[in-house]
Amino acid sequence: MNLPETHHSPLSVPEVDLRKRTLLLFLATLPAACATSSIPSPKERLVTGPAVIPAMRPPQPGQEWVYTLTDVYSGQDRGVLTEKVVSVGDKIHIQRSSDIAGVLPDEIQGPWGMIEQDPHWSPVPIFTSPLPLWPQEMKPGWSRQFHDRYRVMNQSNFDYDWSLSMTVEGWEEITTPAGKFTALKFANKVNYQSNELVFRLTSERTETIWLVPEIGRWAIRRSEGSYLIEDRGGDIREDFLEWRLQSWK
């Protein structure tokens, strides 16, 4: 995987070596996150799925989903998130807020089901061409790869590679505080160029999502990430977070 593109003047060899040594000294103080999960996977039951696949609920202003956000590694509560459709047109804006962090970046789709600005990741990517937010065919075994470019919200106009693999695993019955749902379980795997570190060799993110067409969103979403740094052995793990539906309207 190539390193992120830059548009600055080339660094001299001594400058590169100095930056590299400084980065490695800093990273030596950072332990890799523990891979042990303290929050178990959702209790799920494989089902055959609906005889007729339900259509995704279309967006309307005022629709709202409330989630608890949890750190899966530590079990720490990260707050209650409210996501609300505030405008529908060529682009759909979903306003987001947290009872702990306050106002959060908007999610922007356009058209429905195609993500342009995805604030569930940090830093927030804005894609050159909107990417599918859920499977285009809701049947087990469906799989597709998508390649795109992204830039970082509120930063420079430099752009970077983003490669998404999406695979449907099947229909499952799950229960959250919002109720019992028959959900389409699918997995995402993202390989991307990071804008953050010059010597970051590979960056990967994975997700498991339980999508409920009748509510127009997921009941549970689990996301984690890892990356490799030049001359440092082993993966460095990013946050492992779970969104679990509390209510919707």
> Does residue 81 fall inside a structural domain?
yes
Query: Are the CB atoms for 247 and 216 separated by under 8 Å?
Result: no
* Tokens linked to 155: 């930063």
- Tell me, what's the pLDDT at 94? 98
Would you write out the chain's pLDDT as a tens digit for each of its 249 residues?
333 333 333 333 333 343 444 444 344 444 444 445 556 667 667 788 888 889 999 999 999 999 999 999 999 999 999 999 999 999 999 999 999 999 999 999 999 999 999 999 999 999 999 999 999 999 999 999 999 999 999 987 899 999 999 999 999 999 999 999 999 999 999 999 998 877 788 899 999 999 999 999 999 999 999 998 877 767 788 899 999 999 999
| Confidence at residue 8, expressed as pLDDT on a 0 to 100 scale | 33
96: containing domain: 13-248
**How many structural domains comprise the chain?**
1
On whether residue 6 sits in a domain, the answer given is no
- 8 domain-assigned: no
**Residues 66, 96: Cα–Cα separation, whole Å:** 10
Give the CATH number of the domain where residue 177 resides. Answer: 2.40.360
3 in a structural domain = no
1: in domain: no
Amino acid at 69: L
The torsion angles phi and psi of 65, rounded to 5 degrees, stand at -130, 135
Domain-embedded: residue 209:
yes
> Is 237 part of a structural domain of the chain?
yes
Nearest 5°: CA angle at 72, between 145 and 247? 85
Q: Is residue 171 part of a domain?
A: yes
The pLDDT of residue 178 is 98
